[in-house]
Amino acid sequence: MLELAQVMLAAAGLSFLGVGLQRPDIDWGTMVAEGRNVLADAWWVTVFPGLAVVVTALAANILSNWMRAAGDPLQGGLLAASTLKQET
């Protein structure tokens, strides 16, 4: 799961630089790169795809940490204890 965030950020970065996907294919890196030209007039064209990349990478990292903690027998009790602690 940690590799997912790295690969996604690498693909978006390459597309932003013009080395990745080209038209008619589209991805978040291409959308951010095309939005640079209209940043002063339409900031949302660049900001929302950039936020989507950040939120997706962060969600993948949080999910991978949770999966590691839930699957590790040594930390399984800690995960259950922390959820019980939050409920009370």
Per-residue pLDDT of the chain (88 residues; tens, 9 = 90+): 668 888 888 888 888 888 877 778 788 888 888 888 888 888 888 999 999 999 998 998 888 888 877 777 676 555 555 555 555 5
Total domain count for the chain?
Answer: 1
Q: Is the dihedral of CA 73, 79, 80, 82 positive or negative?
A: positive
Return the closest-CA partner of residue 35 out of 45, 50, 27.
45
Predicted TM-score (pTM) of the model is 0.69
- Residue 51's pLDDT is what? 93
Helices 44-71 and 76-87: angle between axes, nearest 10 degrees: 110
Q: Is the dihedral of CA 52, 54, 58, 61 positive or negative?
A: positive
> Is omega for the bond preceding 73 within 30 degrees of 0, making it cis?
no
- Residue 85's pLDDT is what? 57
- Residue 52's pLDDT is what? 92
- Residue 80's pLDDT is what? 54
Which domain range does residue 18 map to? 2-87
Q: Residues in the chain, how many?
A: 88
